[in-house]
Structure 1
Amino acid sequence: MDRVRLAEEDVEFCSIAGPIDIGTVAAFRAGMAARLDSAPAALVVDLTGVTFVGAVGVAALIAANTRAGQLGTVFAVVADSRPVLRPLQVTGVDRLLVVCPTLTEASCAVEAGVSRIPAQRAAR
C-alpha cells in the first residue's frame, strides 16, 4: 500500500478489510507478495479491518512470513479483534508471527528489528 521511511530503512504497509477466505485470499497473497518483491526492510500487515480469517488466510500469513524471512525482511501483523486473533492463537501462529495490537506497537517492533536487517543481508 504505502512505502515510508522508518529508522532510515524502507517499510512496506499492507492493509486489508473484510473477510480473508477462499474468495479473497488470492488478492491478499498477491498484495503481500507485491510488497515483498522489492525486499523491503520490513512489512507490516494491518488486519484491524478484517472481520474473519479462514485457514487459507492463516496459511497466507505463514507463507508471507516465510518469504520475508528468506529476504531478511522483518514481518509484523497488526490485529486487535477476536475474529482475527482467535485463529492465530488456536493454530499457534501467534507464536510464529510478530502480532501487535496497534500500528504504533508494530512500528516499534519493526524499528527494533530493522537494525538487524543490514547484517542479515550482508551475510547472504
Structure 2
Amino acid sequence: MPVTLRYLDPGIGPGSCTAPSAGTVVAAVTGDIDEPAAYRFATEIRTAVDATPQTLIVDLTGVDFLGLAGAQLLAVEQMYAEGRDVVMLLVPGGRAVVRPLLVTGLLDHFECHRTVEEAVEARRSELAAHTGLEWPVTNPPRTRGGPDRG
C-alpha cells in the first residue's frame, strides 16, 4: 500500500478539515513507508514544514510498516523543521512505527504522544506556560525526552 498524507488544515495539501488549533497542522500518514515510499513521504513532510505552521503533528497511527529509510528521513525532516522554527511532534501509534525508531536509536529524537489530541494539548500547555517571557511564544526553548533524559 502506498503512503498517503492527509492534512487537517485547508491551506496545506489536499485536506479539507480544520486544524485542531491555530498554527497547528496535522499530517495523518497511512500505508507503508518502505524505501520507495520514503522519499515521497519526506517530501510531503517538508511541504508541510515549508508552510511554516507553529506546530506540525505527524500522525503515524495509520502506518503499517516503517522501513529504515523512512525512519532516517523522518529524523532528517525533524532537523529541517527545527531549522525552520517549526515544532514537530510525533504520534507513532503502534509497534510498526515504534519498533524501528527504537531499534535505530531515533525514538529519542522525537517528542512523542499517544494521540493527536494529547499532542495538541501538550503543545497548547507548553505555549501557555511560556507566555510573556523573553523568547517568542511560538517556539520556546524545549528539552526532548523529559527532565531526566536531558
Which of structure 1's runs of 4+ aligned residues deviate more than 3 A? Answer: 112-117
Question: Higher helix proportion, which one?
Answer: 1
* Structure-1-length-normalised TM-score: 0.84
Could you tell which deviates more after superposition, 107-116 or 39-48?
107-116
1:74 aligned onto 2:117: no
What is the aligned-residue RMSD (CA, Å)? 2.0
Structure whose residues are more often strand by fraction:
1
Q: Kindly indicate whether structure 1 or structure 2 has the higher relative contact order, using CA contacts under 8 Å at least 6 residues apart.
A: 1
Which is higher, the Rg of structure 1 or of structure 2?
2
Ranges in structure 1 where 5+ consecutive residues have no aligned partner = none
Aligned: 1:118 with 2:132: no
Distance 1:82 1:63 in 2: 21
* Identical pairs, percent: 28
Counterpart-to-counterpart distance in 2, 1:65 and 1:15: 16
Give the TM-score taking structure 2 as reference length. 0.71
How many matched pairs? 119
- Does the CA contact (< 8 Å) of 1:48 and 1:80 recur in 2? yes
Stretches of structure 2 that go unaligned for 5 or more consecutive residues are 1-6, 10-18, 140-150
Change (3 A) 1:114 1:59: farther
Q: 1:104 aligns with which of 111, 117, 125?
A: 117
